[in-house]
């Protein structure tokens, strides 16, 4: 990526090293990774000496992944403070990062029930309620010692304290966010169906945190009826258009969908199997049912702590949940753009470290992707300096004529041209993968320019 967009002093706020040379080396490594996110450490470094310096850096005991994570988190909180938004979305999700049959990775266990090696990466990213990603708030990674847990029956496993389950990561992440983010920042935690468990609800209430979660369990509510049945029977409160993100796995393009919604205040009780005294007996929440108008299609059952006053509040919450897709795109860039699963590091701890660094880069690419869609007419100089966008414009359009102004939308379009897309009138804005590839080409062009200038001056 470009110099303007990779200001590591702002992405790693107050990062401290015992030796200032380590800080300088770290920023050089991040520059190299950002310029070629899909390359190995050796290839991205650009030379044998730089690669060896990078390996020495990662092996240095004075370099702490946790300290870098705290630094990234502080940078994201600073962005949250200055964001113009009614809600800052703290979007949580887990992705599985697999390394196939690479049994030689030291310390690497399993990420699923097969023999495949890998790790589970649970991240929380911040985004505005307009859908602009801001950065990484927290990330924890673990690998399983065994492929599957055969230590008890299904009922015994369900009755275990939540602290002994993998799903505790959702609660632990919420606790971390609560400690890291100031109380005056309006945070709404957004989760998919994996976050649908009562202990999570109770913990949020204890902390005074708001959440918006997609339901998977048809829970019993206070009147003795099931929550899905109650919502189905409630009248349609209104309709709205929701922008659905592109789903490349199912080859579904981004589209606008007209949705009807129902909502109702409900009382949710603690499951009988949960006997812990610290868990609340019941919670008053708002349930929302959203579905495509007039046909069977996309539908969401949502549950939130937010007290709604009118249909406008409901529509705001529905739009907020639609932005949960941003973390899916983040995972896509991390795996397909930065190719973290192809990394040849031979230690689990090293791969955890690299995953954090590439997560920062992936979120910068994600931010650029959506900033160009949501704020297309702003100047490209928010991302590129003048010399950089001139080279981008001239190389993509094969011209020597320089325009007086150059918008971010035009710059992103030209990055797509550098990545190899045809640029037909029917094509939409370039996606994350094309932007990633275009940035890599631009960084190569900028590097060649610098070499030529140095040769000319000598």
Q: Where are the alpha helices (DSSP H) in 208-263?
A: 227-233
Residues sharing a CB contact under 8 Å with residue 388, sequence separation 6 or more, in sequence order: 2, 3, 4, 442, 446
Residues sharing a CB contact under 8 Å with residue 158, sequence separation 6 or more, in sequence order: 273
Q: Name the phi and psi angles at 208, rounded to 5.
A: 75, 25
Residues sharing a CB contact under 8 Å with residue 207, sequence separation 6 or more, in sequence order: 174, 175, 178
Q: Which residue has the tokens 């990662």?
A: 58
DSSP-derived 3-state class of residue 53: helix
Q: Which residue has the tokens 């009118």?
A: 310
* Contact by Cβ (8 Å): 71, 13: yes
pLDDT recorded at residue 421: 83
Q: Give the span between the Cα atoms of 361 and 12, in whole angstroms.
A: 12
Q: Are strands 255-269 and 238-244 parallel, antiparallel or unpaired?
A: antiparallel
Instruction: Tell me the DSSP string of 224-248.
Output: SSBHHHHHHHSPP-EEEEEEEPPBG
pLDDT recorded at residue 151: 72
Q: Give the span between the Cα atoms of 92 and 81, in whole angstroms.
A: 20
Q: Give the span between the Cα atoms of 357 and 90, in whole angstroms.
A: 20
Ramachandran region, residue 187 (left: φ > 0; alpha: ψ -120 to 50; beta: rest): beta
Across the beta sheet with 299-304, what order do the strands follow?
133-142, 118-128, 88-98, 187-191, 210-214, 299-304, 282-292, 255-269, 238-244
* Contact by Cβ (8 Å): 270, 280: yes
pLDDT recorded at residue 160: 81
Q: Give the span between the Cα atoms of 441 and 4, in whole angstroms.
A: 16
Q: Give the span between the Cα atoms of 319 and 240, in whole angstroms.
A: 10
Q: Give the span between the Cα atoms of 53 and 72, in whole angstroms.
A: 23
Q: Name the phi and psi angles at 82, rounded to 5.
A: -100, 5
DSSP-derived 3-state class of residue 315: helix
What element of type H or E holds 301? Answer: strand 299-304
Angle at 355 between CA 339 and CA 182, to 5 degrees: 130
- Angle in degrees, 0-180, between the axes of helices 48-59 and 348-374, rounded to the nearest 10: 110
Q: Which two tokens stand for residue 213?
A: 């979660």
Q: Where are the alpha helices (DSSP H) in 60-167?
A: 65-82, 154-158
Residues sharing a CB contact under 8 Å with residue 376, sequence separation 6 or more, in sequence order: 407, 408, 409
pLDDT recorded at residue 15: 86
Please state the length of the chain: 458
pLDDT recorded at residue 3: 47
Beta strands (DSSP E) in 25-183 are: 88-98, 118-128, 133-142
Q: Name the phi and psi angles at 326, rounded to 5.
A: -60, -35
Please give the chain's pLDDT, 458 residues, in tens.
Answer: 554 456 788 889 888 888 888 999 999 999 889 888 888 888 888 889 999 999 999 999 999 999 999 999 999 999 999 999 999 999 999 999 999 989 899 999 999 888 899 999 999 999 999 999 999 999 999 999 988 777 767 777 777 878 888 999 999 999 999 999 999 999 999 999 999 999 999 999 999 999 999 999 998 888 778 999 999 999 999 999 998 876 666 667 778 889 999 999 999 998 888 778 788 989 999 999 999 988 788 899 999 999 998 999 999 999 999 999 999 999 999 998 899 999 999 999 999 999 999 999 999 999 988 888 888 898 988 888 888 889 999 999 999 889 988 999 999 999 999 988 876 666 677 888 888 888 888 888 887 776 665 565 44
| Dihedral over Cα of 211, 214, 219, 225: its sign | positive
Question: How many whole angstroms from its chain centre is CA 142?
Answer: 17
Q: Secondary structure of the chain: what % helix, strand, coil (to 5)?
A: 45, 20, 35
Q: Which two tokens stand for residue 413?
A: 């379009």
End-to-end, the C-alpha distance of the chain in Å comes to: 27
CB atoms within 10 A of CB 337: 23
Q: Give the span between the Cα atoms of 122 and 341, in whole angstroms.
A: 15
């Amino acid at each position: 990526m470009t110099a303007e967009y990779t200001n590591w002093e702002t992405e790693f706020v107050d990062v401290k090293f015992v030796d200032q040379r380590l800080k300088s080396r770290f920023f050089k490594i991040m520059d190299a990774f950002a310029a070629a996110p899909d390359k190995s450490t050796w290839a991205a470094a650009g030379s044998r000496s730089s690669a060896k310096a990078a390996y020495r850096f990662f092996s240095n005991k004075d370099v702490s992944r946790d300290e870098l994570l705290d630094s990234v988190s502080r940078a994201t909180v600073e962005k949250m403070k200055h964001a113009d938004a009614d809600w800052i979305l703290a979007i949580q999700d887990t992705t599985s990062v697999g390394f196939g049959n690479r049994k030689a990775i030291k310390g690497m266990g399993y990420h699923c029930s097969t023999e495949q090696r890998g790790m589970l990466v649970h991240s929380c990213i911040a985004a505005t309620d307009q859908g602009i990603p801001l950065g990484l708030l927290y990330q924890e990674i673990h690998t399983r010692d065994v492929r599957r847990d055969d230590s008890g029956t299904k009922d015994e496993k369900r009755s275990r304290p939540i602290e002994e389950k993998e799903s505790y990561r959702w609660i632990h992440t919420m606790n971390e966010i609560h400690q890291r983010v100031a109380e005056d920042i309006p945070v709404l935690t957004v989760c998919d169906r994996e976050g649908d468990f009562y202990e999570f609800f109770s913990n949020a209430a204890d902390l005074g945190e708001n959440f918006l979660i997609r339901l998977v369990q048809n829970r019993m509510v206070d009147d003795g009826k099931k929550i899905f049945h109650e919502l189905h029977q409630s009248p349609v409160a209104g309709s709205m258009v929701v922008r659905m993100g592109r789903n490349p796995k199912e080859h579904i393009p981004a589209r606008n969908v007209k949705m009807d919604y129902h909502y109702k205040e409900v009382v949710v009780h603690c499951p009988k199997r949960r006997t812990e005294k610290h868990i609340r007996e019941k919670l008053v929440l708002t349930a929302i049912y959203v579905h495509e108008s007039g046909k069977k299609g996309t539908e969401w059952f949502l549950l939130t702590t937010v007290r709604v006053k009118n249909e406008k509040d409901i529509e705001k919450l529905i739009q907020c949940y639609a932005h949960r897709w941003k973390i899916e795109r983040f995972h896509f860039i991390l795996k397909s753009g930065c190719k973290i699963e192809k990394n040849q590091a031979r230690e689990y701890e090293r791969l955890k470290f690299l995953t954090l660094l590439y997560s920062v880069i992936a979120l910068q690419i994600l931010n650029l992707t959506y900033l160009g869609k949501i704020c297309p007419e702003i100047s490209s100089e928010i991302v590129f300096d003048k010399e950089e966008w001139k080279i981008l414009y001239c190389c993509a359009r094969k011209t020597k004529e320089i325009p007086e102004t150059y918008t971010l939308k035009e710059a992103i379009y030209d990055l797509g041209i550098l990545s190899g897309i045809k640029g037909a009138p029917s094509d939409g804005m370039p996606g994350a993968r094309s932007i990633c590839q275009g940035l890599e080409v631009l960084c190569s062009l900028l590097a060649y320019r610098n070499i030529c200038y140095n040769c000319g001056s000598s």
